[in-house]
Structure 1
Amino acid sequence: MIDTHAHIYLEHFNEDRDEVIERALAQGVKKILLPNIDSSSIDSMLDLEEKYPDICYPMMGLHPCSVKEDFEKELELVEEWLNKRKFLAIGEMGTDLYWDKTFWEEQKTAFRIQCDLALKHDLPIVIHCRETIDETIDLVTEYEDKGLKGVFHCFTGSVEQGKKITEMDFYLGLGGVSTFKNGGMDQVIPHLDRSKIILETDSPYLTPAPHRGKRNEPAYTALVADKVADYLGLSKEALDELTTANANALFFPSEK
């Protein structure tokens, strides 16, 4: 399995990071993809890649909740890093109206700038869209026919929204919410394009059942996989094979 979205470089894991990775490997999670947040997270993320080069793979981007007055400086740093070395994707980027609506226009500008960087560097984008899924679909639509690719991380939308996303050739990241009793994903996941679903945890956030309320970690990808397999009427092995192939197609196309 591949955990396509985990922030295990954060301080939440300072006491047991090595054990967290060991537990993930023991559950069959072979790769852990690391979305960046902003300039403050780069060093710890790259340190983790250096220690676990064949397991942890970093991305480069600016999270929408870090889009403030100085977002242009932050994006200059993102571009600087992209010109310096290889990253797996542009992310975590996107839009968010849950916490703060102050910088909505700046978020949209930052989104478009990062889409342009993705096209320039031939990388997928990893999209955060909290309470902004329709607005974000519209933003991606601006890039139709330009070859932009990526994933709507933490997808919790409707069947119709999922269809719009996959018809744009984008993927859907399924995580802990898929396991929530009242999350509603049991009514959505069976109708999604199976060739476009990938697994994630968003560690340390959005911990799946039965561990809700505790810190999330990549080993729990297996819990998400169990639930998604159940919804799709697949064996766990078939689901693992499907989602790993999908994640490889998006993030590791040259390894095909």
Structure 2
Amino acid sequence: MKLVDSHSHLFLEDFQSDLPQVMMRAREAGVTHIFMPNIDSTTIEPMLKVCSEYKGYCFPMIGLHPTSVDAGYEKELAVVAGHLAMPDGYVAIGEIGMDLYWDKTYLKEQQIAFERQVRWALEYGLPVVIHCREAFDYIYDILKPYKTSSLRGIFHSFTGTREEAFRMLEFSNFFIGINGVVTFKKSGLPEVLQNIPLERIVLETDSPYLTPVPNRGKRNESANVKDTLLKVAEIYGNSPEEIGRITSENALKVFGMLK
């Protein structure tokens, strides 16, 4: 079985003590590619280090996460711009977006940072990986002018309604990222997914967060994408092998790596 983890933070301190074992378990689970979204200037070096150590298996993105947007966001964006101008092998701009769950203090700054990074994605021909929490309408309004552009990407960790999913699917070059949340007992995602074509789905873990059942409550890792896969296969009434093939092709397509 082939699997792609389209969103995993294996460069964080959570994995410092056993990263080789984490990678080995991912390979044993059938994971062929792990895509790593950046958070802010403090995470670039450890992310690039892991991607260098596991070159051809782990692939870096560059971007400023919305929860790292504050009064000094211009300096952080300058760092992103500097890295984009260098040939570091970045495969996407991410993760970017808006998060109003914890704090709305920097709402305007989050909007500015998000749209600027979307424009960079178009300039560099890279996909975007979008984080959205309690900010769907804001994100939709910023993206709307780009609906007919070449912009492509992933709506990471989608947990929205059926109506929101349909609005996301209006962007023909975008995919919806599904992770361990789909396995949670109170999740509404299984019902939402029944209305979403499999050709628009990618799988992810968001490690070390959002661990799927049956390991919920423990640290998440890329190997656990197989548990999300099994739930998605159940929802679509398809074999795990077929779900793995289609979602992996979807992920490699959006990152420009489908051969």
Aligned to 2:67: 65
Taking structure 2 as the reference length, the TM-score comes to 0.96
Any unmatched runs of 5+ in structure 2?
none
Match of 2:252 among 240, 248, 254: 248
For residue 146 of structure 1, report the CA deviation from its aligned partner. 2.3
Q: Retained in 2: the 8 A contact 1:115–1:125? A: yes
Aligned to 2:224: 220
Paired AA for residue 93 in structure 1: I
Aligned to 2:146: 143
Aligned to 2:109: 106
Matches within 5 A, 1:136-215: 136-169=139-172, 170-215=174-219
Aligned to 2:57: 55
Q: Retained in 2: the 8 A contact 1:25–1:219? A: yes
For residue 135 of structure 1, report the CA deviation from its aligned partner. 2.1
Counterparts of 2:4 and 2:83, CA distance in 1? 24
Paired AA for residue 121 in structure 1: Y
Counterparts of 2:229 and 2:21, CA distance in 1? 21
Instruction: List 4+ stretches of structure 1 deviating above 3 A.
Output: none
Counterparts of 1:193 and 1:62, CA distance in 2? 30
For residue 226 of structure 1, report the CA deviation from its aligned partner. 0.3
Q: Retained in 2: the 8 A contact 1:163–1:193? A: no
Counterparts of 1:61 and 1:41, CA distance in 2? 10
Q: Retained in 1: the 8 A contact 2:37–2:94? A: yes
Secondary structure of the corresponding residue to residue 149 of structure 2: coil
Counterparts of 1:230 and 1:183, CA distance in 2? 15
Counterparts of 1:109 and 1:197, CA distance in 2? 28
Secondary structure of the corresponding residue to residue 2 of structure 1: strand
Counterparts of 2:217 and 2:135, CA distance in 1? 25
Residues 157-204 of structure 1: CA distance to partner in whole angstroms, max 9, x if unpaired? 112211111221211000010110111111111111221100000000
Any unmatched runs of 5+ in structure 1?
none
Q: Retained in 2: the 8 A contact 1:166–1:193? A: no
Aligned to 2:18: 16
Paired AA for residue 80 in structure 2: V
Paired AA for residue 25 in structure 1: R
Aligned to 2:30: 28
Residues 195-237 of structure 1: CA distance to partner in whole angstroms, max 9, x if unpaired? 1100000000111111111100000000000000100001000
Secondary structure of the corresponding residue to residue 96 of structure 2: strand
Secondary structure of the corresponding residue to residue 142 of structure 1: helix
Paired AA for residue 45 in structure 1: M
Counterparts of 2:217 and 2:137, CA distance in 1? 29
Point out the more displaced range, 24-33 or 188-197: 188-197
Aligned to 1:238: 242
Counterparts of 1:174 and 1:222, CA distance in 2? 12
Taking structure 1 as the reference length, the TM-score comes to 0.97
**For the aligned residues, what is the CA RMSD?**
0.9
Match of 2:96 among 76, 81, 93: 93
Aligned residues with identical type, % of pairs = 45
For residue 148 of structure 1, report the CA deviation from its aligned partner. 1.1
